[in-house]
Amino acid sequence: MTRNDLDVLIAGGGFAGLTLAIALRQGLGSAFSVALADPTLGTSRAQDAPPHDERASAIVAAARRLFETIGIWEKAAAEAQPILDMVVTDSKLGDALRPTFLTFAGDVEPGEPFAHMVENKLLLDALVAKAHEVGVDLRAAAVKDFSRDPTIRANLSDGTAITARLLVAADGARSSIRSAAGIATHGWSYGQSAIVINVAHARDHHGRAEEHFLPAGPFAILPLKGRRSSIVWTETAVAAERIMALPDAAFHAELEQRFKLNLGDIKVIGARRCHPLGFFVARSFVADRIALVGDAAHVIHPIAGQGLNMGLKDVAALAEVIVDAARLGLDPGAADTLERYQRWRRFDTMAMGLATDGLNRLFSNRSDVLRFARDVGLGLVDRLPGLKRLFIREAAGLVGDVPKLLRGETL
Ligand SMILES: Cc1cc2nc3c(=O)[nH]c(=O)nc-3n(C[C@H](O)[C@H](O)[C@H](O)COP(=O)(O)OP(=O)(O)OC[C@H]3O[C@@H](n4cnc5c(N)ncnc54)[C@H](O)[C@@H]3O)c2cc1C
């Protein structure tokens, strides 16, 4: 039976919202009522409703452990491409040779790759299917507005009125819940955009990811299943706009100049997409009976492919905090419960956000002095196996106070 007086209402059915709903349902069972509202659930993503998101994401080892634990990895595994090694270069656009400064072998534990590349749609479909299977109450509607007197009273766009002890904003970077709760953000735009495309190529990539640092920003080649790769190509916003508008042949020439011919002939498959890049962190991850997760709480530069992985860390921490509180009979929306979540996640997020910001500033420029300094630094890291191992475990999400789900433990 559908209930409109809930323990938790989640706004947003992207990666963050769906994962949280499943984890809460699995951790607390049907006695704890959770509903998730998202207007796009009605458009049946499973039937490939346009516009089809052809983006793929690097899912790091900790996030993969979470997906395994909630039971959705099995479906994705056959199509997931492990990243078996990674090469980092630093050169100018016209350079004939791209000297390699850093290489990573891909395992965090023997036989456990540090990350997999997976198409977003595949994972989202698996999450929706699992949410149905475990009985999450999915509503194809937006959370329109809400008040707090003293619990949450929310109105959905389909006219339903809902009360809840906690409202979770998983409604993405332009979160209307965050704004309505009066939570400001601090951050900045990079004046850069990422052109995202998939390409088919004649030769095997052998699971190798490549990050080419060019003066306009990183050009990443990330291996997909088969002879295909996902490209995340950073340019200044002005240059990206010009390149996006090019006819196919001219676009191809620009692409080939950066991709080179190591993998043989290349062909763009699917549509070109362009994302303006910025960095922000919410000034608070919580407010009275509200918690922010995922892009609603933070957006970072995709230079290290960590945005979604950070959102999943929020979800794992919030799910653990709520489950612990509910098992003790405590209120999941109480201030001290939410404060525990905020303490767990906000500092870590700021540290990762600033690290990716620093990386982008260090690499996206034309200074020869900086280029020399960073190349010496990269060369040093490459020669110190202990440091390299620490870097790779950090990037895989396995360092620090890691929530249970990301360690592969059930709640
Ligand atoms: C170019 C690029 C490459 C990237 N690559 C990677 C990568 O390799 N690895 C990685 O970890 N991350 C990557 N990221 C980041 C990652 O894509 C995002 O962090 C992630 O998709 C955010 O998920 P989310 O669930 O928080 O938000 P979203 O995916 O934005 O989901 C928000 C949902 O909320 C819904 N919604 C909005 N308003 C309402 C409302 N009022 N009521 C109800 N529902 C609402 C929307 O319909 C949407 O479904 C990349 C980002 C970019 C731009």
pLDDT tens column, 50-72: 445 678 999 999 999 999 999 99
211: three-class secondary structure by DSSP: strand
pLDDT of residue 44: 54
Query: 351 pLDDT band (50/70/90 cuts)?
Result: confident
Query: 46 pLDDT band (50/70/90 cuts)?
Result: very low
Inter-CA distances, 248 with 97, 192, 243, Å: 26, 22, 10
pLDDT of residue 48: 43
CA 403 / ligand 1 centre spacing (Å): 21
* pLDDT tens digits for range 108-152: 888 889 899 999 999 999 999 999 999 999 999 999 999 998 999
pLDDT of residue 301: 87
CA 14 / ligand 1 centre spacing (Å): 6
Q: Among 171, 198, 275, which is best to mutate for testing ligand 1, by the most ligand atoms less than 8 A from CB?
A: 171
Q: Among 19, 45, 57, which is best to mutate for testing ligand 1, by the most ligand atoms less than 8 A from CB?
A: 57
* pLDDT tens digits for range 254-279: 999 999 888 999 999 999 999 999 99
CA 298 / ligand 1 centre spacing (Å): 10
DSSP line for 11-26 = E--SHHHHHHHHHHHH
Query: Does any ligand 1 atom lie closer than 6 A to the CB of residue 38?
Result: yes
- CA torsion angle for 343, 344, 349, 352 (degrees, to 10)? 120
Q: Of 40-54, 108-122, 189-203, which one has max mean pLDDT?
A: 189-203
User: Per residue in 192-226, is it b (16+ CB within 10 Å) or e — as a string?
Assistant: bbbbbbbbbbeeebebbbbbbbbebbbbbbbbbbe
- Could you give the percent of the chain with pLDDT greater than 90? 69
* Burial category of 186 from C-beta neighbours within 10 Å (exposed 0-12, middle 13-18, buried 19 and up): exposed
pTM, rounded to two decimals:
0.93
The overall average pLDDT reported for the chain is 90
pLDDT of residue 51: 47
Query: 1 pLDDT band (50/70/90 cuts)?
Result: low
* pLDDT tens digits for range 353-404: 888 787 777 777 767 777 777 777 777 667 667 767 777 788 888 888 999 9
208: three-class secondary structure by DSSP: strand
Average pLDDT over residues 29-46: 85
